[in-house]
Amino acid sequence: LDKLLVVGPCRGRIVEVEAYEPDDPASHAYRGPSRRNRSMFGPPGHLYVYFTYGMHWCANVVCGPVGHGSAVLLRAVSPVAGAQVMAERRGHPARAVDLTNGPAKLCQAFGIDGQLDGVDLAGRGPRAVELRDEGRTPFEPARRSTRIGISAGTEKPWRWYLPGDPYVSPGRPSGER
DNA sequence: CTTTGGATCGTCT
DNA sequence: GACGATCCAAAGG
């Protein structure tokens, strides 16, 4: 959270994330490794990109050691550079926030898809996806809540976000207003 | 602003 | 064969 995501010309500050653990019924890792989730069980600091609802890509940062299967879903980003490219890819939405205020939206805006599944976040080159620490201190401390869009593990308060940021996704966890 | 239903297909059962 | 770690447009208030 609050790190800079860099993919080609696109840069954005991560303003909302969710954690997923291997013993967590909401996690893709819950039933062990499979073809789809294999990069979740790979080395930390790499990307786990998955396809869902027949049309959307979502991106995670793998966090645990090899074989562990934990990751952090990137749910929203606040654009810092490359908004023009993002708008192009997103079909020029009426409101600026719709560029990147959701896990599938930010992937589309940043051009993240299955080709980037498993890439090293410390890597360089044309296929590089970078996570940078700007050494920034948030204006307000992060807040947490339950997670969005899941049907199991709904009680776990594993969603973190920067309160007040306009790019935090519109989906609402149960129990929060 | 909120609610509702459709889109669309890979994955695992 | 059922179901998504989602998004969008349309309709109603």
* CA A6 to C1' B3, whole Å: 36
Q: What pTM was estimated for this model as a whole?
A: 0.95
Under 8 Å between Cβ of A79 and A86: yes
A36 in contact with nucleic chain B (CB within 7 A): yes
Dihedral (Cα; A149, A18, A45, A105), 10-degree rounding: 50
Query: Which bases of chain B come closer than 7 Å to a protein CB?
Result: 7-13
Instruction: Band the pLDDT of A175: cuts 50, 70, 90.
Output: low
Give residue-wise pLDDT tens across range A11-45.
999 999 999 999 999 999 999 999 999 999 999 99
pLDDT tens for residues A68-123?
999 999 999 999 999 999 999 999 999 999 999 999 999 999 999 999 999 999 98
| Angle, alpha carbons A102-A85-A90 (nearest 5°) | 40
Radius of gyration of chain A (CA): 15
